């Protein structure tokens, strides 16, 4: 190969115009994880150091990038409780209380290692900007920075499979880069309708030694919802969306 040809190839590879577009990649990751609007069934397990386990079953509805509602189907003690998230704002409805109460992203409606932000996860591109994309062999490593102080984690380090463009691991960190928890994405499953994504998400935390929480996705499918579904007045009726 001639010297000019070699120089052209080196320029081609080094040119910033051919670098990975982090913002576009993150949006693609969001869509590979979930459709823009969908319904979903999940089970969440909280596992204590002694092996004791508590299980929850939820039905969720999401519309667009920043609206998500859910209802607890089990256990019996939690059945009928609902949650609603609109952007940074979150509410919990308890039937015998009768009106929604405000909750925060760092609290947890179920206890365990998952907080409300994990349980009512919005699109990552809604809450984070991509600061840097590193090449890590078969994976991209995305360094994400929260857009506002109201987000649960100031920084994320997201390992993403290059071929499937889906996360394999996310480290959730503080502004000072202290590790809060790690999310592990496992067991790729074809849910139908073009949705192929991890069916299990596990989390552990150095702040909760020996504790673990596991989220299992049983069903995800595209579905459109009316805007009224994502209002405080509709919270007592979220279970009526199940077909």
The number of CA neighbours under 13 Å toward the Cβ of 35 is 19
Omega before residue 75 within 30° of 0, cis: yes
In this prediction, what percent of the chain has a pLDDT beyond 70?
A: 92
* 22-46 average pLDDT score: 95
CATH for 195 = 2.50.20.10
**Is pLDDT above 60 for 229?**
yes
Q: Round the CA-based radius of gyration of the chain to a whole number and report it.
A: 20
Has residue 7 been placed in a domain?
A: no
Taking the C-alpha atoms of residue 158 and residue 32, their distance in angstroms, rounded to an integer, is 15
Q: Decide if 28 contacts 47 (C-beta within 8 A).
A: no
pLDDT in tens, 83-128: 999 999 999 999 998 899 999 999 999 999 999 999 999 999 999 9
**Is pLDDT above 60 for 18?**
no
pLDDT in tens, 171-212: 999 999 999 999 999 999 999 999 999 999 999 999 999 999
Has residue 155 been placed in a domain?
A: yes
Q: What is the pLDDT of residue 20?
A: 77
Has residue 131 been placed in a domain?
A: yes
Has residue 43 been placed in a domain?
A: yes
Taking the C-alpha atoms of residue 211 and residue 205, their distance in angstroms, rounded to an integer, is 8
Has residue 173 been placed in a domain?
A: yes
Strand partners, 197: 189
Domain residue limits at 34: 20-241
Strand partners, 60: 40, 70
Q: What is the pLDDT of residue 196?
A: 94
Helix (H/G/I), strand (E/B), else coil: 112: coil
Residue at token pair 């987000």:
151
Whether the CA torsion 26, 32, 34, 37 is positive or negative: it is positive
Q: Decide if 125 contacts 26 (C-beta within 8 A).
A: yes
Report how many domains make up the chain: 1
**Is pLDDT above 60 for 141?**
yes
Taking the C-alpha atoms of residue 29 and residue 23, their distance in angstroms, rounded to an integer, is 10
Has residue 36 been placed in a domain?
A: yes
Task: Using pLDDT thresholds of 50, 70 and 90, give the confidence band for residue 2.
Answer: low
CA distances 217 to 35, 68, 198, 214, Å, are 14, 16, 8, 10
* 138-142 average pLDDT score: 96
Has residue 13 been placed in a domain?
A: no
* 35-44 average pLDDT score: 96
- Please give the structure tokens belonging to residue 222: 């595209």
Task: Using pLDDT thresholds of 50, 70 and 90, give the confidence band for residue 243.
Answer: confident
Q: Structure pTM?
A: 0.87
Q: Which residues, including other chains, have CB under 8 Å from residue 239's CB and lie 6 or more apart? A: 59, 71, 73, 80, 82
Has residue 196 been placed in a domain?
A: yes
CA distances 118 to 28, 56, 226, 237, Å, are 19, 14, 24, 23
């Amino acid at each position: 190969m001639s010297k000019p040809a070699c120089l052209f190839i080196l320029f081609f590879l080094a040119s910033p115009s051919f670098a990975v577009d982090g913002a576009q990649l993150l949006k693609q990751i969001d869509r590979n994880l979930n459709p823009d609007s969908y319904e979903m069934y999940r089970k969440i397990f909280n596992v204590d150091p002694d092996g004791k386990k508590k299980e929850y079953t939820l039905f969720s509805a999401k519309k667009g990038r920043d609206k998500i509602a859910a209802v607890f189907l089990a256990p019996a003690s939690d059945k009928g409780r609902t949650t609603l998230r609109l952007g940074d704002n979150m509410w919990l409805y308890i039937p015998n209380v009768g009106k929604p109460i405000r909750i925060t992203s760092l609290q947890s409606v179920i206890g365990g290692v998952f907080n409300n932000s994990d349980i009512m996860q919005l699109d990552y591109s809604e809450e984070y900007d991509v600061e840097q994309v590193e090449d890590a062999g078969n994976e991209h490593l995305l360094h994400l920075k929260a857009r506002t102080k109201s987000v649960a984690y100031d920084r994320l380090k997201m390992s993403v499979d290059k071929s499937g463009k889906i996360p394999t691991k996310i480290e959730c960190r503080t502004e000072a880069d202290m590790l809060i928890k790690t999310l592990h994405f496992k067991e790729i499953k074809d849910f139908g309708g073009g949705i192929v994504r991890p069916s299990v998400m596990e989390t552990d935390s150095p702040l909760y030694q020996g504790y673990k929480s596991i989220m299992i996705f049983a069903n995800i499918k595209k579905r459109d919802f009316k805007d009224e579904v994502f209002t405080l007045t509709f919270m007592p009726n979220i279970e009526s969306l199940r077909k």
